[in-house]
Copies of this chain bind each other. A is one copy, B any other.
Amino acid sequence: MARDPATASFKFNHTMLRVKDPKVSLKFYTEVLGMEHIETYDFPSFTLYFLAFDHSNGAESTEVKKANRTAREGILELTHNKGTENDANFKYANGNSDPGRGFGHIAISVDDIQAACARFEQLGVPFQKRLTDGTMKHIAFIKDPDDYWIEIISSRRNPGEA
């Protein structure tokens, strides 16, 4: 079926995940994954953090990215409900076990998956599945600070690889 012309401008702009402690999550997403923190919206009881990968090779300022934030894909929104970081027992569901199963993961594609996974090991990032685990040797899963799964895949795919 041909695409309805009414949807011609539609973009998959962002995915939102709630996080317990924004300091820890922002450090992870910017330093470990290399995303840029481009915008923050602070409300009385919660704060929204918008992150994305820079694909301009540093040419675009954060201000330009901020202005274009809703006109692109690949944005990650992290929501912090204030106070959760101070509750030792507080934990969000990561979507991968009952009750609460639904959302599965986000995925990052990388040019050199061996090098990327070796670096995650070196940085002490926890793995849900290493490249060497199981039968699917071409994908890995790491865990973010809230235990959300992040699939690591190669951007240089081989035919037949999921």
A residues contacting B by CB (< 8 A) are 1, 3-4, 6-18, 30-31, 33-36, 41, 48, 52-55, 57-58, 67, 69-77, 79, 92-95, 99-112, 115-116, 119, 146, 148, 151, 153-157, 162
Contact = CB atoms under 8 A, between A and B. Distances in A.
B102 A17 contact: yes
Nearest to A37: B1
Give 7 closest A-B pairs by Cβ, nearest first: A7-B34, A100-B100, A73-B74, A103-B103, A9-B111, A16-B104, A92-B102
Q: How many copies does the complex hold?
A: 2
Given A15-B15, A70-B153, A155-B70, A95 B106 contact: no
A18 B104 contact: yes
From A6, A30, A157, residue with most partner B Cβ within 10 Å: A6
Given A9-B110, A10-B34, A93 B102 contact: yes
Contacts of A36: 3
A14 B107 contact: yes
A137 to B, nearest CB: 16
Nearest to A15: B15
A112 to B, nearest CB: 7
28 contacts: A3-B54, A7-B33, A7-B34, A10-B108, A11-B74, A11-B155, A12-B52, A12-B73, A12-B74, A12-B107, A12-B108, A14-B107, A14-B151, A15-B15, A15-B106, A16-B105, A17-B103, A18-B103, A67-B157, A71-B109, A71-B156, A74-B74, A79-B104, A92-B102, A93-B101, A95-B103, A99-B99, A103-B103
